[in-house]
């Protein structure tokens, strides 16, 4: 029998959990960017009980926000929304600690307690809990959905309980999928891949669980279908989002050069339009002086129209972008996506989770940023170890279909989720808007990322 953890270890763990709660309590909530749009839409839904016409952003998150009556007391509802999002993050933290116990076991007590400390203190899963963005909810429902699915897919519980668990997983994943349009594609691909894998490599096992697969798919599809029906009843449009965007020509041109995150913030959002003069764009944005002159003429003409949507201007920007893509296809479809993937993972994002609530100043804030950056590299390394070990496990056919296999399945799904989300963002950077570079887009994969790191820790511990 493994030894029980000493009381001092529990004191440390619960003290750190309390410290995280204190961090939540000191956090001020903010509304900016898409959050303003979400709040306005939520107010509309709360007042009229119908959805506005379809837009690029799905209305599901605004519909959830409307439960907080944002049209009556915005300040109070903002606090409510923030606290709920912090609760979602805290739930993820507790679940990750439970998964660490299952992956590492009680026999390696120091390793387990060390993992718990890092899980509780890491800021990556809760960076966006203090803002009105959909990422925290997407992260929670995706994480919870795949975890519950993994557990009940192998469960020996009574048929009704098992079916209810699978249905709950499908509903959670369906809800996550309608909160962000790109997550709908991601979750669908993973679920279809899971079904195909089980059909090809676990035929005998799957034969007795077909009803679970049917329940999963039906419950998953029910959520976007119900939301689409609600949308049709509201505006006679069927779907959860549309793909109609303005200024596609200009943003398509921005995708053709390797912007840094700071440059992206200026030239990919209308909030920086006062700086949209040819002199302010970096030299790397232009392949030639001729392109620079052409761009300057188009921009000057567009500014004369007060940057209003214009098909003619858009077509000229699009032609300029297409010329660059034809001349440098490898740069556009490979090098720039790789560069943007690099920025998603190699950064100091997360430090504001502690520096802002506690008002830290230099040199203490610099030390916090350094520690969080080091922890990021540690988790990346452990995650890569976990992925490598998982690939070897599959190659050697070491998968066993036993009740405890849910842990192996969820670890595999977690690694796959992080990899596919990373590749998806790289792919979309070549085709969507100005290329996706906002760090919040990768945050939905953070809980899965930590699970992959725990898997890597387990594999290293076994070799030690």
Give me the average pLDDT of each 10-residue run along the chain (464 residues). 71 92 87 84 88 88 84 69 92 96 85 93 90 93 96 76 91 95 93 84 64 90 95 90 81 91 87 86 93 93 83 91 93 92 88 86 89 92 91 66 71 95 90 79 95 92 73
CB of 140 within 8 A of CB of 61? no
Query: Has residue 104 been placed in a domain?
Result: no
The predicted structure's pLDDT at residue 100: 94
The residue segments making up the domain with residue 285 are 248-339
* Centroid of chain to Cα 99: 20
Report the alpha-carbon distance of residue 63 to residue 51 in Å, rounded: 8
CA 252 to CA 433: how far, in whole Å? 7
Residue 398 burial (C-beta neighbours within 10 Å; 0-12, 13-18, 19+): exposed
User: In this structure, are residues 255 and 321 in contact, taking their beta carbons and an 8 Å threshold?
Assistant: yes
pTM of this structure: 0.92
At 70 the pLDDT is 64
pLDDT at 71: 56
24 domain residue, yes or no: no
| 292 located within any domain | yes
Q: Determine the Cα–Cα distance for residues 15 and 10; give it in Å rounded to an integer.
A: 8
Counting DSSP H helices and E strands in the chain, the numbers are 20, 0
How many domains, the chain? 1
> Would residue 121 count as lying in a domain?
no
Instruction: Tell me the β-bridge partners of 30.
Output: 131
Alpha helices in 328-463 (DSSP H): 329-330, 336-345, 352-355, 364-395, 405-428, 446-463
Tell me if 91 is assigned to some domain: no
Are 64 and 132 contacting, i.e. CB atoms less than 8 angstroms apart? no
Handedness of CA 76, 78, 84, 89 (dihedral sign): negative
| 200, part of any domain | no
The answer to whether residue 47 is domain-embedded is no
Place of tokens 């009381």: 7
pLDDT the model gives residue 107? 77
CB 127 within 8 A of CB 30: no
Which tokens hold the place of 172? 């959670």
Q: What is the pLDDT of residue 310?
A: 82
**149 in a domain, yes or no?**
no
């Amino acid at each position: 029998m493994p030894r029980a953890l000493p009381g001092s270890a529990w004191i440390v763990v619960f003290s750190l959990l309390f410290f995280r709660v204190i961090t939540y309590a000191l956090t001020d909530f903010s509304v900016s960017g898409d959050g303003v749009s979400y709040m306005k839409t939520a107010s509309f839904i709360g007042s009229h009980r119908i959805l506005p016409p379809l837009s690029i952003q799905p209305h599901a998150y605004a519909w959830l926000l409307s439960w907080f009556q944002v049209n009556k007391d915005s300040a109070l509802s903002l606090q409510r929304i923030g606290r709920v999002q912090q609760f979602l993050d805290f739930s993820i933290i507790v679940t990750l600690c439970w998964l660490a116990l299952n992956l590492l076991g009680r026999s390696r007590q120091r390793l387990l307690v060390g993992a718990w400390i890092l899980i509780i203190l890491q800021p990556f899963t809760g960076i966006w809990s203090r803002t009105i963005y959909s990422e925290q909810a997407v992260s929670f429902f995706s994480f919870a959905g795949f975890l519950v699915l993994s557990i009940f897919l192998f469960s020996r519980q009574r048929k009704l309980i098992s079916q209810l668990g699978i249905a709950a997983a499908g509903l959670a994943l369906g809800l996550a999928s309608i909160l962000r349009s790109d997550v709908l594609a991601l979750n669908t691909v993973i679920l279809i891949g899971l079904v195909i894998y089980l059909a090809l490599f676990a035929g005998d096992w799957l034969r007795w669980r077909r009803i679970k697969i049917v329940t999963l798919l039906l419950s998953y599809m029910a959520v976007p279908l119900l939301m689409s029906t609600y949308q049709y009843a509201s505006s006679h449009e069927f779907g959860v989002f549309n793909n109609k965007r303005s200024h596609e020509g200009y943003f398509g041109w921005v995708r053709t050069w390797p912007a840094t995150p700071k440059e992206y913030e200026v030239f990919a959002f209308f909030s920086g339009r006062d700086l949209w003069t040819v002199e302010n764009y970096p030299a790397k944005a232009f392949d030639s002086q001729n392109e620079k002159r052409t761009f300057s003429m188009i921009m000057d003409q567009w500014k004369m129209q007060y940057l209003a949507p214009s098909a003619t201007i858009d077509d000229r920007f699009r032609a300029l972008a297409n010329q660059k893509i034809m001349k440098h296809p490898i740069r556009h479809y490979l090098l720039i996506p790789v560069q943007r993937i690099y920025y998603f993972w190699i950064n100091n994002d997360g430090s504001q989770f502690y520096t802002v609530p506690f008002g830290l100043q230099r040199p203490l804030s610099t030390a916090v940023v350094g520690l969080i950056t080091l922890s990021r590299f540690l988790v990346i390394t452990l995650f890569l170890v976990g992925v490598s070990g998982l690939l070897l496990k599959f190659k050697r056919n070491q998968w066993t279909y036993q009740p405890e296999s849910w842990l192996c399945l969820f670890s595999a799904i977690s690694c796959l989720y992080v990899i596919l989300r990373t590749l998806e963002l790289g792919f979309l950077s070549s085709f969507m808007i100005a290329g996706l570079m906002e760090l919040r887009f990768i945050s939905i994969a953070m809980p899965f990322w930590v699970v992959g790191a725990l898997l890597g820790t387990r594999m290293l511990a076994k070799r030690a």
